[in-house]
Amino acid sequence: MRRILLLGGTGNFGTHIARRLAGDPNIQLLIAGRSRAKAESAAARLKAVNPAEGHEMDMAGDLAAAFAAARPDLVIHTVGPFQGQPYRVAEAAIAAGAHYLDLADARAFVTGIDALDERARAAGVAVISGASSVPCLSAAIIDAFRPRFGALSSVDYGISTAAQGISGLATATAILSYVGRPIRQWRAGAWRVTHGWQGLHGETYPELGRRLFGDCDIPDLDLFPARYEGLQTVRFGAGHELALIHLGTWALSWPVRAHLFPGLDRIARFLLAAARLLDPIGTGRSGLHMILGGTDEAGAPKTIRFYLIARQGHGPYIPCVPAILLASRFAAGRAFTPGARPCLDLITLDEYLAALADLDVSTFVLENEDRRH
């Protein structure tokens, strides 16, 4: 039986991961949070096959000692925002001889994780960062459709959140941290500077209609130009179901860009509360799209559009899938390869979508349709 520690196990992502793993007879869950009472209460509510434990753990405290006492085989780190966060959790996991996964989508955090590679290999453990929608799912989509191209030259994609499934404070803070700030992106075969939540553009989804997007900073922007030979453009955008919220954030990006305001992450709690007042007019439907462009084997232009639509507020569960799948595999006896790396080449698109089968999620694929966006 594997002891799996969920750091942030009482939060949105941690709670969902715990529910999905609670029925696995090969897993004993350790629910960790800042409050022992809340952690123990969350552990008791799980009614897990193997009774879960509640642990009090402070991110600013002595994590090495806490991990040594808890004796985890695997640590799953869900406590964001990861922007600007050091590698204290991963380092403590290595010291405890435990494998490590995180749900980070912070560019520098995920792309810099190989700094721990030598230490992880020496300890015989895996340190995997970005076990989330990006770069795990985004890379899986490209890998699934790339064989249909003779040459792949561009990927243009985005995630649009639902009003009723709006993210928690940590996720909102992470997004707001780069609104109005410079972002280095690979465009037309060269590095160019854009700004967070600017580059306003839209995409029309099946079922959802038109959603707005703005440029955002994610690990893929560094990882994909190096990973996919011949790729000339990588653009990622984030957006909100309600145009009012999206355009309001876009308007607020300009004072940040002009250095008139230090950053929207400083008022994330207020902005999140304001956005939640509009929940009643939302639909609870979120979406992900990816437009892959290039040529076929004969050199003719080719475009594939992939859409994923989540209903009933199920969108926030999608980033949890990699951690759930990898933890389940580990508990079933599938070994991790030691070393530190981003979460790439570990989960296929088919495996990812199969894990969403019990959610209200659909996918659509359109090939060579000329659509304005």
Instruction: Go through the domains of the chain in sequence order and give each one's CATH number.
Output: 2-132+318-348 (3.40.50.720), 134-316+353-367 (3.30.360.10)
pLDDT confidence of residue 219: 98
Strands 27-33, 53-56: parallel, antiparallel or unpaired by DSSP?
A: parallel
Q: Confidence class of residue 164 from pLDDT cuts 50, 70 and 90? A: low
d(CA 92, CA 98): 9
Dist CA 233 CA 224 (whole Å): 9
Give the residue, 294 or 47, on which the prediction is more confident.
Answer: 294
Q: What is the mean pLDDT of the chain?
A: 94
Alpha-carbon distance values, 289 to 134, 171, 210, 213, 238 (Å): 13, 20, 12, 11, 10
pLDDT digits (tens, 9 = 90+) for 324-349: 999 999 999 999 999 999 999 999 99
pTM over 0.75: yes
pLDDT band at 277 (very low <50, low <70, confident <90, very high): confident
Q: What pLDDT, on a 0 to 100 scale, did the predictor assign at position 372? A: 40
What are the tens digits of pLDDT across the range 74-124?
A: 999 999 889 989 999 999 999 999 999 999 999 999 999 999 999 999 999
